[in-house]
Amino acid sequence: MHLATVSAQERGLTDRLLTTVVARLGRDGFRVLGALRATGQDGADAHCSSDLLLLPDGPVMRITQDLGTGSNACRMDAGALEDSVGIATSRLTSGGADLIVLNKFGLSEAEGRGFRSLMAEALAQDIPVLTGLTDTHRHAFERFADGLDTSLPPDEEAILDWCRAALGTGPAMRANRKPRS
């Protein structure tokens, strides 16, 4: 089983690293599915909004809702998140993948929802999974991974090295990988 996490202390660094790694692997012909935090959010409410780019090529899904100023309630739009999971899972089922990359193992995954089922399905198919992880949900992730994960440093080359090593053993890669030009 190939399961790895990346945890960076600097705000946004994990997202930037995963985005760069996915772009590089895509250029190398690997089929990467999953979801990354969409870049380019700006404006006054950007800190309260969260958009996911579904890999490999969209769409971008808004997974938060505007509850208005002064609201302290959770802004997560569980329905939109589950729609995103459904699209990603459908892509895995219909076309396979070499690698699954997710921006983070978050609250939904910690509670057994969200992209957790996609992660489990990919791992059952011997497809490597790479995800961001914060300290907030580390214990839940450790229960999910059961000691079978690798913690990677927040370093682009180290992440790529792990991905390439993991991709060398996956059945989808061996059978269906596009040849390099």
Place of tokens 């870049």: 39
Q: For residue 37, what are the β-bridge partners? A: 52
Per-residue tokens: 46:
């950007």
Task: Say how many C-beta atoms besides its own lie within 10 A of residue 3's C-beta.
Answer: 20
Cα distances (angstroms) measured from residue 1 to each of 15, 126, 144? 23, 6, 13
Rounded CA gap, 139 and 68, in Å? Answer: 32
* Model pLDDT, residue 1: 80
Q: Is residue 181 part of a domain?
A: no
Q: What are phi and psi of 101, to 5 degrees?
A: -125, 130
* Model pLDDT, residue 75: 67
Q: Is residue 127 part of a domain?
A: yes
User: Mean pLDDT in runs of 10 for the chain (181 residues)?
Assistant: 94 95 95 89 52 92 72 66 92 94 95 95 96 96 95 96 85 45 40
Q: Is residue 98 part of a domain?
A: yes
* Model pLDDT, residue 49: 67
Q: Is residue 169 part of a domain?
A: yes
Number of domains in the chain: 1
* Residue 16 belongs to domain with CATH number: 3.40.50.300
Q: Is residue 53 part of a domain?
A: yes
Task: Say how many C-beta atoms besides its own lie within 10 A of residue 26's C-beta.
Answer: 14
Q: Is residue 58 part of a domain?
A: yes
* Model pLDDT, residue 50: 84
Q: What's the domain range around 98?
A: 3-176
Q: Which residues contact 59 (CB under 8 A, 6 or more apart)?
A: 87
